[in-house]
Amino acid sequence: MKKFFVKSLCVSALILASAYPYTSMADEIEMQYQRDVTACHINPDVDLQACLKEAAAARQAARADTLSDPAAQTIERNRTSRCDGLVGNQREECLQLLSADNEVQTEGSVSAGGVLRKIIITLPAEASQGK
């Protein structure tokens, strides 16, 4: 009886395992492409043709295994270039705001339309001139 139970348990496990389809990398790429296309059609604020073209380019790059995350240097260069148009203290404050410092409060998300960063910067009081 015990042997029969173990054999039937093993057979049941094999049947269950075969019920879950194996997902290949090609399937994952195609599913991501379908999600991207769906997002293009759902979001009314994007240029549909440009979005579909970008989704197709991402799928092609994933198939060629050339889809990659940007390097840390590129990310840092993009981060600091946002502040390049500012001068003096404004540029320094901008760089401080974009730093990974714990004092920076972040709200929102890119998908929600934007990220709001907030930091409190204490400025020294101006010296009063006696009259």
* Single residue among 68, 89, 104 that ends a domain in this structure: 68
Q: Say whether both 84 and 61 belong to one domain.
A: no
Within a domain: residue 80?
yes
Q: Say whether both 113 and 76 belong to one domain.
A: yes
Quote the number of domains for the chain: 2
Within a domain: residue 15?
no
Residue-wise DSSP of the chain: -HHHHHHHHHHHHHHHHHHSPP--HHHHHHHHHHHHHHHHHH-TTS-HHHHHHHHHHHHHHHHTT---PPPHHHHHHHHHHTTTT--HHHHHHHHHHHS--TT-EEEEETTTTEEEEE---PPPPPPPPP-
Instruction: Tokens 């004092």: give the residue.
Output: 103
Q: Say whether both 54 and 84 belong to one domain.
A: no
Q: For the segment 5-28, what is each residue's pLDDT rounded down to a tens digit?
A: 444 544 444 454 444 455 677 888
Q: For residue 89, what are the domain limits?
A: 72-118
Higher pLDDT, residue 103 or 12: 103
pLDDT at 101: 65
Within a domain: residue 128?
no
- Residue 53 clears pLDDT 90, i.e. is over it: yes
pLDDT at 49: 92
Q: For the segment 65-82, what is each residue's pLDDT rounded down to a tens digit?
A: 877 777 777 877 887 888
Q: Say whether both 105 and 89 belong to one domain.
A: yes
